[in-house]
Amino acid sequence: MNDESSKIQEKAVDANMPAADNETAYPQEFPGNPARRNFMKASAMAGLAGAGGALMGGLALPHKALAAEAGAIPEDYVAPGKLDEYYSFSSGGQSGEIRIIGVPSMRELIRVPVFNPDFTIGWGITNESKRVLGKDFPPGGDCHHPHMSQTHGHYDGRYIFINDKANPRLARIRCDVMRTDKIIEIPNVQAFHGLRVQREPHTGYVFANGEFIIPSPNDGRDLDDPKKYWTLHTAVNGETMEVAWQVLVDGNLDNTDCDYAGKYSAATCYNSEKAVDLAGMMQSERDWVVVFNIARIEEAVRQGKFKTIGKSKVPVVDGRHGSPLTLYIPVPKNPHGINASPDGKYVTANGKLSPTVTVMSWSKIDDYFAGKLKNPRDVVVAEPQLGLGPLHTAYDNRGNAYTTLFIDSQIAKWNIQDAIDAYAGKKVNYLRQKLDVAYQPGHCHSSMGETRDADGRWLISLNKFSKDRFLPVGPLHPDNDQLIDISGDQMKLVADGPVYSEPHDTILVHRRVLMNKIKRIWDRKDPFFAETVALAKRHGITLEKDSKVIRQGRKVFVYMTSSAPKYGLESFKVKKGDEVTVTVTNIDQVEDLSHGFCMSSYGINMEISPQETSSVTFVANKPGVYWYYCTFFCHALHLEMRGRMLVEA
């Protein structure tokens, strides 16, 4: 369909509306409409004006929808029965989950609950999930940055790590079964935001930033004395999921990344002022990037040169200005994203309130720590001007970088070496292209772009606004993820679609990394339900064949198998007030044949995949007859797959 026919089709939706009203209702189809352009500019700039007028300028026009030529196959087309080439692991934002999306189709495949209760599989309901979440888990989370474990700078397909900004927690997801297997709390910090995994030699550490400054310890003292507020950079052992050490810093911490040699992690700071109000956080003309020397920090911990804070036993070393453990690099005010290039040479800090991106050299950082450089700014090798509101940068395998421009609603493509040459005084144009996106992009991510295997195929722009892009659904609009082909000289927008609030970040992993690692059915010896299996053995139960009731005083243990279309027990009887534990083992061995167990009127549901065991514990506090039934359509007699819990008064 060409552009003209698209317009005609859209106008036909409201054929009785005057043309002028059509332009008002569907301004995205009228990119020259001054009302549309001025509205976007005004809405974006109004917020900045309220924040002190730090930025000036207009917005680029929204892109014209790309129309495929008649008969052509769209670049993002994945035929029925065919598999996508990439997995996109997208953070679920305030929902507290991970979403797995196929690329280039952009079809959502499944959601993995992490910090959020989920009635589909019983996350937060089953005993197995409660062991992961902890005894007093908050009912939700704010997921921002998913990253896969690496070995020598390559994705290894073992784990996905994700943060919870709302509660300072780190979670680990097993990639073989796509289940969260470990959650820990990061001590001494609030708003755990930036997260990144160590690349070399493997993911020994997961690096975590505390964004908000707080009293240290935060136990009621120094409540209104920001001079005594601090935050910390944290290293977590990715295998044991234990906090290894923390570094006290000046200012605050935002995003983080690390090098490809296993020497450094680095973080942006946008509140060097240590202010507690908006105006105060924008006072300084420069903030900084702080680089952490891992070997020196580890040695300081070995030598006992640390303290602890409050009740925490985690070693905390001093990395404030003047420390040999850190390097503070001045950069333009209020930087945000920090991203390492896949060639292992550079790391960029994105300006946010400056139109620039600061490019720093890892080798020059080596020189600084070796005493060969005295001025921290000597590690900067380029500072290209790209546009308004640079937030995050992604990379291809041809020396190009792709930066989101939040205010301009654009992706800027630029060449790293040309930017370095221009910084050195050569007359060269480093800017390759600007592509309009809709609208206000935050993160962008390229296929395999945070590894040595960056392939320059695809880029996803995660846009925060979608006004007038989709059917109205109420005051809360969806976000808009857009897929961009970056395989050629010019970026080409090929697809977009609405997504539920708020996918903050994503990674694009080629299917070859995971296809042979993902299990189709559960291993009966899997540690995920090992505690449940051990309890059954103590009761003399063989889970794969026994369906019976074990009574121990007021505790009742109900064991049953499930095999389409029948539970091993068609009924069981308990007394009001009994603590009941129901354990179900799916003995089907057919791939994709899941069962559910839902207890009517008790708020209980859990999913049991083939060869899995799941259990749930509750108090039978209501007398009467309560049916349990299968929630996954497993058989032609699925509706008949049920039984009764009989609760005696």
The answer to which of 60-69, 504-513, 609-618 has the lowest mean pLDDT is: 60-69
Residue 584 half-sphere exposure toward CB, CA atoms < 13 A: 32
Query: Average of pLDDT values for 81-102?
Result: 96
Contacts of 294 (CB under 8 A, 6+ apart): 205, 235, 262, 263, 264, 265
Residue 136 has what pLDDT? 87
CA distance 546 to 537: 11
- 401-457: pLDDT as tens digits: 999 999 999 999 999 999 999 999 999 999 999 999 999 999 999 999 999 999 999
Q: How far is CA 308 from the centre of its chain?
A: 30
Residue 570 has pLDDT above 90, yes or no: yes
Residue 59 has what pLDDT? 34
CA distance 576 to 388: 65
Nearest to 430 by CA among 487, 381, 377: 381
**300-308 contacts, C-beta under 8 A, 24 or more apart:** 300/325, 301/244, 301/245, 306/245
CA distance 438 to 56: 20
CA distance 99 to 504: 11
**Confidence band, pLDDT 50/70/90 cuts, at residue 66:** very low
| Count of CB atoms situated within 10 Å of the CB of 266 | 27
CA distance 565 to 587: 12
pLDDT: is 6 or 145 the higher one? Answer: 145
**Residue pair 61/31 in contact by the 8 Å Cβ criterion:** yes
Residue 21 half-sphere exposure toward CB, CA atoms < 13 A: 7
Query: Average of pLDDT values for 230-253?
Result: 98
The answer to which of 1-5, 268-272, 519-523, 534-538 has the lowest mean pLDDT is: 1-5
**Residue pair 615/583 in contact by the 8 Å Cβ criterion:** yes
Mean pLDDT across the chain: 90
Instruction: Give the DSSP letter of residue 368.
Output: H
Q: Bridge partners of 151? A: 154, 202
Query: Average of pLDDT values for 496-515?
Result: 95
Nearest to 368 by CA among 289, 450, 257: 289
Q: Bridge partners of 249? A: 231
| Count of CB atoms situated within 10 Å of the CB of 329 | 26
Residue 71 has what pLDDT? 57
Query: Average of pLDDT values for 510-523?
Result: 97
Residue 541 has pLDDT above 90, yes or no: yes
- 393-405: pLDDT as tens digits: 999 999 999 999 9
| Count of CB atoms situated within 10 Å of the CB of 47 | 10
What are the structural domains, with CATH classification, of the chain? 84-185+388-518 (2.130.10.10), 190-209+223-383 (2.130.10.10), 527-648 (2.60.40.420)
Nearest to 531 by CA among 462, 649, 466, 615: 615
Residue 100 half-sphere exposure toward CB, CA atoms < 13 A: 21
Residue 645 backbone class (left: φ over 0; alpha: ψ -120 to 50; beta: rest): beta
Nearest to 582 by CA among 608, 563, 564, 601: 608
**Confidence band, pLDDT 50/70/90 cuts, at residue 76:** confident
Which residue do the tokens 């059509």 mark?
A: 22
The answer to which of 77-86, 591-600, 640-649 has the lowest mean pLDDT is: 77-86
CA distance 34 to 614: 59
The alpha carbons of the chain give a radius of gyration, in whole angstroms, of 27
Residue 503 has what pLDDT? 87
Residue 135 has what pLDDT? 86
In what helix (H) or strand (E) does residue 279 lie, and over which residues does it extend? none
Q: What angle do CA 128, 133, 137 make, to 5 degrees?
A: 135
The four Cα atoms 411, 413, 416, 421 give a dihedral, to 10 degrees, of -110
Q: What angle do CA 138, 99, 506 make, to 5 degrees?
A: 105
